[in-house]
Structure 1
Amino acid sequence: MRFNTLAEWLAWQETLHPKSIDLGLSRVKEVYGRLGNSGKPPFTITVGGTNGKGSCVAMLDAILRSEGYRVGTYTSPHLLRYNERICIDGQPSSDDRICGAFERIERVREEITLSFFEFGTLAALDIFDAADLDVQVLEVGLGGRLDAVNIIDADVALIASIDLDHQDWLGDTRTAIGLEKAGIFRSGRPAVVGDIDVPAAVVQYAEEHDVPLSYLGRDFRYEMLSGSWDWLGRNAELTDLPFPALKGDHQLINASAVLETLHRVESRLPVSPAAIREALRNVTLAGRFQYIPGSIPVLLDVAHNPQAVRVLADHLRRQFSGKTIHAVFAVMRDKDISGIINNIKDLVEHWYLAPLKMPRAATADQLLAVFDSLGVSAVRSGFPDAAAAFDAARRSAESDHLLLVFGSFFLVSEYLAHMN
């Protein structure tokens, strides 16, 4: 074996390809073919979208496992351990299993270079192929059309939402981004969009490629009641459902799209109302509106684009009205930083900029320039590491305040590691 530990494999993979992101399917498809797997992957649900992908994968996984299916999920990025990316029946894959997959990939790739994400995607598919799964749920890393997971033909595709993010790669309009995400659609196979404002070009794309498309507001909807909610499809409905255990009113949008997705494939993958109810009550997902009670309560969220931060701000207004909020923040420099800050600046009293030791992260000077342009002055920076920023925010906060840690996945990951 080339390396003995998972950490060694991952460190090497980061140096293997000259680009951290290299969209395209030819290289990864060639290596996948060389792996010589069974040739017929498990029933596949591919999940894309700007925001909401992780929540949709979590709910699909919970519902299907509640029904008794054996389910594999591939997600990214992880929060604490790389192993979280490749789960079977809710359990992260072991180091040995992942290293074994990496070794099989390395034996067959020969002259072909693979990015870090492509290596991981191939490892997940290799592990799932050998695991006798009923279903695999694959989360798109970036876009859809040229993302590595798209080498697998989805039996049903779900786009959770469409908004502006990764514009350097996907385009700078919702239409362009929507079309990139629609690349996970397959002719004759159902697709669902959990967005009420679907670009017309996406609907046209589905029609031209014979994709049976349904989307929120036209083909399905939800109604919120006092202590429950109803899901209403074109020829089916589920009433008096428990609210998802994942916090935030927006989770009803995600849950509705998930139920529509399962409804569209019910002849091949039936699930009972009882399984749906149990799963909604018990589903979990770290880092999304994750509330940690204590003398100074903490809210964690990986919102890192303007749409996600608007949802976060709405949640703060509803659940933490009147609270003094101390926000620890970090984000990648290729994000719409001005849009992010502008959507939440009126709710935050004190800001703490946490440095992330990675090339893509926005520096303190870059962030300070944006804060200054928006007239926000209560910003502290210059911390040696993220842990120091967390500690400074906690020391400044009082018992009736809220500590908000949001932005990059890597920041939330650092907080969870720091807390542990």
Structure 2
Amino acid sequence: MQHLPQTLEGWLEHCERLHAKNIDMGLARVGEVARRLALRFDCPVITVAGTNGKGSTCALLEAVAQQAGYRTGVYSSPHLVRFEERCRIHGEIVDAASLIAHFEAVERARTQDGAEVSLTYFEFTTLAILRLMSEARLDVAILEVGLGGRLDATNIIDADCAVITSVDIDHVEFLGPDRETIGREKAGIMRTGRPVVVSDPVPPQSVIDHAREIGADLWRFGHDFNYSGDKQQWAWAGRGRRYAGLSYPALRGANQLLNASGALAALEAVRERLPVTAQAVRTGLALVDLPGRFQVVPGQPALVLDVAHNAHSVAALTANLDAMGYFPSTHAVFGAMADKDLAPMLAKIAPLIDRWYFTDLPTPRAETAAGLQQKWNALQMVAGGRRQAATSLHASPEEALRAAVAAADPADRIVVFGSFYTVGGVLKDGVPRLQAKHLDA
């Protein structure tokens, strides 16, 4: 092999050129390279799949396990700003330099003995991160599924515990057109005789059936674990264990109790290998942090960042915005992928939005700002144009946010949502400071 890249940026560019398709579902190619790498984990592995809530569930698992004194490793995707965010070792994002040796190892294995294997960007980078994690002397590895489950690159690792969060309709071209089909794909991360935690309150029957067919140990929300609570505190109960008087997770939003319940069930399911104390649970829930999940930046105007990018997550965002109380006007910075079913997303949140700032995104998969505006206008025509909201077009999320800040009054609210690229675009230079505009007011 000649002229291997010397930087992480160079390796990522190399990965982008290797395969004709951005997404090519299947485990044969990635499994072969993993075999050549002799990739294996010596610690419990918890794999998390689902339409929404995966990242939050991984962060909750990580926070509690760390508070219990364990060395944690997390793989999640996509990233908001920097690629290195996809891997955290003991709570710290890995540095770019530490990844390079693992990219080199994957490339050597991929081209071994002239039997070259073509890998997609996601497959190559997943293998590099998994190799880094496998050598990091972890007590627990937490893997977030990228897409689906059964054919996702993370599924080359046998999970000691599988978690399936919400199941909703998304990525239909790869996973299928309905919840039952999509549920069957996500159920592919289960393993015979091992626990699977299903935190979706109304899971597809295909998920339940697959667990029974293969003999997995099914932990089902509402059957094997549950939560209750009031405005001050909440409680969790599972098989033979109960936590009472818990503070709400530091991650905002009503849906986080479901995610936290699933995380606690998973930790209970692996208790023999990874026991945690009640104090670790309490402290972990209080300290968990994950940017871009209903992240509220205080100031004037208030700023809300959320990676909601499908109908289900936008419905949750809408409910959370509604619960924030009264704001004279809400400004929305919105950019999204072209393959999303945008009409139900826009329709759900529309009653709360007074002004839209549609933005282009730096990826060919994205809908253009003009395309978003056209879809919004079509939705208004169908609705009879009862509620007019001003719209504008912008070349980037940063530009759109600047326009929103310029137009907003101090008592208003700005919400940035629609894609990791949208939220990541405004976070590139750190959390925006919006107060400056009104310091002299």
Question: How does the TM-score come out when normalised to structure 2?
Answer: 0.93
Preserved CA contact (<8 Å) 1:353 1:379? no
Q: Which moved more, 1:327-336 or 1:209-218?
A: 209-218
Letter in 2 for 1:261: A
Preserved CA contact (<8 Å) 1:232 1:238? yes
CA distance in 2, matches of 1:382, 1:196: 39
CA distance in 2, matches of 1:209, 1:273: 33
CA distances 1:266-324 after superposition (whole Å, capped 9, x unpaired): 11111000000000011000001111122222100000001101100001111133441
Preserved CA contact (<8 Å) 2:357 2:393? no
Pick aligned residue for 2:316 from 298, 301, 311? 311
CA distance in 1, matches of 2:196, 2:228: 22
Q: 3-state SS of the aligned residue for 2:210? A: helix
Q: Which moved more, 1:323-332 or 1:136-145?
A: 323-332
CA change 1:282–1:323 in 2 (3 A) is farther
Q: How many residues align?
A: 419
Q: Which moved more, 1:95-104 or 1:228-237?
A: 228-237
Pick aligned residue for 1:144 from 142, 145, 149? 149
Pick aligned residue for 1:30 from 32, 55, 58? 32
Preserved CA contact (<8 Å) 1:192 1:261? yes
- Indicate the residue corresponding to 1:52 in structure 2: 53
Letter in 1 for 2:105: R
Preserved CA contact (<8 Å) 1:387 1:418? no
What's the CA shift for 1:172?
1.1
What's the CA shift for 1:225?
2.2
Q: 3-state SS of the aligned residue for 2:67? A: helix
Preserved CA contact (<8 Å) 2:353 2:389? no
CA distance in 1, matches of 2:378, 2:395: 25
Q: 3-state SS of the aligned residue for 1:72? A: strand
Q: Which moved more, 1:319-328 or 1:10-19?
A: 319-328
CA change 1:303–1:108 in 2 (3 A) is same
Letter in 2 for 1:386: P
What's the CA shift for 1:418?
4.6
Letter in 1 for 2:322: R
Pick aligned residue for 2:20 from 18, 21, 24? 18
- Indicate the residue corresponding to 1:211 in structure 2: 216
Q: 3-state SS of the aligned residue for 1:374? A: helix
Q: Which moved more, 1:166-175 or 1:223-232?
A: 223-232
Instruction: Establish whether residue 397 from structure 1 lines up as the match of residue 408 from structure 2.
Output: yes
- Indicate the residue corresponding to 1:368 in structure 2: 373
Question: How does the TM-score come out when normalised to structure 1?
Answer: 0.97
CA distances 1:249-279 after superposition (whole Å, capped 9, x unpaired): 1111100111111111111111000000000
CA distances 1:28-64 after superposition (whole Å, capped 9, x unpaired): 0110111134x44421000010000000000000011
CA distance in 1, matches of 2:147, 2:371: 24
What's the CA shift for 1:366?
2.2
- Indicate the residue corresponding to 1:337 in structure 2: 342
Q: Percent identity?
A: 44
CA distance in 2, matches of 1:226, 1:96: 45
Superposition RMSD on alpha carbons, in Å? Answer: 1.3
Preserved CA contact (<8 Å) 1:83 1:93? yes
Letter in 1 for 2:350: K
Matches within 5 A, 1:45-84: 45-84=46-85
